[in-house]
Amino acid sequence: MAFDEKVRARLAAALKGKKGIVEKRMFGGVAFMHHGNMALGVQDKDLMVKVGAENYAAALKRPHARPMDFTGRPLKGYVYVAAPGFKTKQALDSWVASGIAGAASAKPKTSPKNAAGKPGAVKTAEKTPVRTRKAVANRPSTETAAKTKAKTKARTKPTTRSSKQPSRSRATRAKR
């Protein structure tokens, strides 16, 4: 899934100057996090808004709003808004206010990754580097690995059956 870049730009402009906002690409779209909690997002040409559980029913009554069913089941507290529902600046600002209020009602995340660096700036999330295996330092040395392999080999018994003898199942052995 892709997202409409024009909608993203309008949303970023509407959020400019708001504290604690971070833009993050996720789920085939883009999300705007408020202190670590998703407030708004764009998927395809739709606006995703976290309105919160207490404002969910009222938000669904607004024009062009529908339940957010991203996973196949409606997510309570989240709505999709079709493009005509936020066509004007006034309508978009109203949804932005609802999204920030919905995210603010949730417990804020304290991770520095999710907090915007400068107050009032919309920060674009950078790509995170690929994590390397931390266990490399904890791996046994080659000497230790060789000793372990030798011990394992010594414990295993060699098979006595010659390769020419066919293996027999229990059913075959029971018939004899």
Q: CB 112: neighbour CB atoms within 10 A? A: 8
Percentage of the residues of the chain whose pLDDT score is greater than 70? 61
- Position 102 scores a pLDDT of 93
For residue 80, give the H/E element and its range. strand 78-81
How large a percentage of the chain has pLDDT more than 90?
A: 44
The contacts of residue 116 (CB under 8 Å, 6+ apart) are: 19, 20, 21, 22, 122, 123
Lookup: tokens for 81:
């808004």
Greater confidence (87 vs 165) lies with: 87
Q: What is the pLDDT at residue 28? A: 82
DSSP class of 28: T
| 3 band by pLDDT with thresholds 50, 70 and 90 | confident
Report the relative pairing of strands 78-81 and 65-67 from DSSP bridges. Answer: antiparallel
User: For residue range 44-62, what is the model confidence (pLDDT) as tens digits?
Assistant: 899 999 999 999 999 999 9
The predicted-structure confidence for 121-165, as pLDDT tens digits, reads as follows 455 555 444 444 444 455 555 666 677 767 766 666 665 555 566
> Which residue's entry shows tokens 């919160």?
52
Say what the pLDDT of residue 111 is: 56
**CA–CA distance from 146 to each of 140, 149, 150 (Å)?**
10, 5, 6
What is the predicted pLDDT for the residue at 166?
60
Tell me the sheet residues that pair with 41. Answer: 31, 48
Can you give 135-166 as a three-state secondary structure string? Answer: HHHHCCCHHHHHHHHHHHHHHCCCCCCCCCCC
Mean pLDDT of the chain: 78
Type of residue at 60: L
Does residue 24 contact residue 113 with C-beta atoms inside 8 Å?
no
Q: What is the rounded CA–CA span in Å between residue 17 and residue 15?
A: 6
Q: What pLDDT is attached to residue 141?
A: 59
Is the per-residue pLDDT at 95 higher than 90? yes
Cα distance between residue 15 and residue 95, in whole Å: 11
Q: Looking up tokens 């993203």, which residue turns up? A: 8
